[in-house]
Structure 1
Amino acid sequence: MNLLNTSLFRSCIVLVDTHDRVIAVLGGVPRGSKGAEWQAVEAEAAAAAVHCRESSMFTEAQKHGRRGEFASRTVGYGYGNGWRKPQNYKVSGRANQCAVQELLQNTAIRRISGFQSALFNMFCHKNYAEYRDTNDEIQCKQPELHANFPNTAFAATTFNLGPLSFSPPHMDPENRASSWCADTNMGPFNPDKGGQLMLWDLGLIICFPPGSTILFPSALITHSTIPIQAHESRYAMIQYSSGGLFRWRNNGFNQTNPS
């Protein structure tokens, strides 16, 4: 595999195929926010993730999933798993609900969400517009569905709450196959000694420093994260939409596989 280990990662790098079609975007950090400003955003977001984990209780499945041995929480809405219609992802327990709402209201977390959506809009505008239209139409039909952020293009967010958030090789088949998820990680960890993102089907190992964002088709590309050092911590915020939402909309807001 080729190591894409560049000090330019905090700038934006686009990965294209042999036909110049954009496969993924290494989004770096927002222009004008390099250095101390965005480092402060990343540090605040990491602290918010720690607080959410420490204020919550998790089932064994939420601490030991197929994506790794770390606590995680998924919020927003999706469609799949035999559901009769789109549903909010359930967060059980008053303390857990309060912890998640506090995390979603955090200013740094909201800035990261905005940057993820801005990258999506810039580099994949047609899909971005379809995501926004699908969200608007489904929420109009089902006002009980809750968006995580006011201006997000994505229906769901998973927070990997660590403290050692790294994953074995996997794909995310529930996600929209023809589009991207947005992944931002947080530290503190040394990105030269761990935390790199591996895109197995592309033969790439990508340096992924704390505070940086990557967008790629997680339903199509096998990916994993290299372990960090034992004394370090890593957290992540991933936004995406399940493919079932688009099938639901395109099928006239009815079950796509009635039985």
Structure 2
Amino acid sequence: MGLTALNARESYTVVDKSGRIITVLAGKPRDNNWDAIMAELAQKLKDVRGKMSFSKKQKVHKHGKFTSVSVGNSFGGGSQRPGMMAFYSTTNRLILMSLIAFSSFQRLVSFTNCVFECFAANTFGLYCEDLNTLFASNPKLTRWFRNSVFAGISFNMGPFTVAWPHTDSHNLAFGWCTITALGNFDPDKGGHLILWDLGLVTWFPPGSTILIPSTLLTHSNVPIQPRDECYSIIQYSSSGLFCWIYNSFMSDKDFLAKAMPEMKRRRAKDQKARWGNGLHMFSLWDDVWARFMSKQ
């Protein structure tokens, strides 16, 4: 494992021994107003939290003991087909729609998608293609994030957002998620992101973003100071959506019930090769560096 910099002022990457990029410490874009924009977004999250109602599962869950609400489309957990994540009330839905339309949030989505495309172009392309295919196949689905290739977003509204060690097993095995830290906390005294499998603890100040393959890497946060407030925004796509498309718009159960023997044999062969194919989706540092230099 190694740490390399594309630009010392902006982004660092963690690479494995084969030169694959496995983590991106994206930091912040070159924008003198970025801290103010992200402070507006943090305040918006705080205001939204005060207006919404939450279930017990949204307050305490496998990620930690903080309020978290998810928006977008997913598939799994016993559902029959892809659909919107639960809001628990019409009021919550309207409030979240206002949050999604907020200009500071739109700026964040644009930045994180740009970083995703730069450092994981193969996976970005898959996300883009499959999401377009999903919505083309079902016009009843709501496309919540029109300038994003991610299908879902979780708003962690804290106010003391400190995640326990976990992996996100429902996400695509070789897929990525973006994590953006927000709020009013001292990043020298808490909020650091821990990547347990890599033995890495990284400074994670408000307004900055980190990209990780969250199914593969166990991650958590260092606690913040008692009077500090920390929020975060996570962008991701569930693996169930990719399976649905791979199965020609069917669940695994329905596919296996209808598939001919040859199709089942081909599927079994694909499954054996899946991990190797997933590894090839990760970008090599040398290739990213070459593209970067060619644009200078």
TM-score, normalisation: structure 1: 0.93
Distance 1:110 1:143 in 2: 23
2:197 corresponds to which letter in structure 1? D
Distance 1:81 1:98 in 2: 25
Q: Which residue of 153, 158, 163 corresponds with 1:167? A: 163
- What aligned pairs does 1:1-259 form with structure 2 within 5 A after superposition? 11-30=10-29, 32-33=30-31, 35=32, 37-258=33-254
Using the TM superposition, give the Cα deviation of residue 257 of structure 1 relative to its aligned residue in structure 2, in angstroms.
2.4
Using the TM superposition, give the Cα deviation of residue 95 of structure 1 relative to its aligned residue in structure 2, in angstroms.
1.8
Distance 1:10 1:100 in 2: 33
Name segments (4+ residues, structure 1) moved above 6 Å: none
Distance 1:198 1:159 in 2: 20
2:203 corresponds to which letter in structure 1? C
Secondary structure in 2 aligned to 1:67? Answer: coil
Structure with larger RCO (C-alpha < 8 A, sep 6+): 1
Work out whether residues 182 and 215 of structure 1, in 8 Å CA contact, stay in contact via their aligned partners in 2.
yes
Work out whether residues 186 and 235 of structure 1, in 8 Å CA contact, stay in contact via their aligned partners in 2.
yes
Distance 1:147 1:234 in 2: 28
Secondary structure in 2 aligned to 1:187? Answer: strand
Q: Percent identity over the alignment?
A: 38
Provide, for residues 93-114 of structure 1, a one-character-per-residue CA deviation record: whole Å limited to 9, x for no partner.
1221121111101111111111
Secondary structure in 1 aligned to 2:71? Answer: strand
Work out whether residues 200 and 221 of structure 1, in 8 Å CA contact, stay in contact via their aligned partners in 2.
yes
Work out whether residues 176 and 243 of structure 1, in 8 Å CA contact, stay in contact via their aligned partners in 2.
yes
Work out whether residues 64 and 70 of structure 1, in 8 Å CA contact, stay in contact via their aligned partners in 2.
yes
Provide, for residues 198-245 of structure 1, a one-character-per-residue CA deviation record: whole Å limited to 9, x for no partner.
000000001000000010011111100111011010001110000111
Distance 2:173 2:59 in 1: 26
TM-score, normalisation: structure 2: 0.82
Distance 2:146 2:78 in 1: 28
In structure 2, runs of 5+ residues without a counterpart are 258-296
Distance 2:58 2:9 in 1: 31
Distance 2:155 2:8 in 1: 22
Using the TM superposition, give the Cα deviation of residue 144 of structure 1 relative to its aligned residue in structure 2, in angstroms.
2.0
Distance 1:93 1:147 in 2: 19
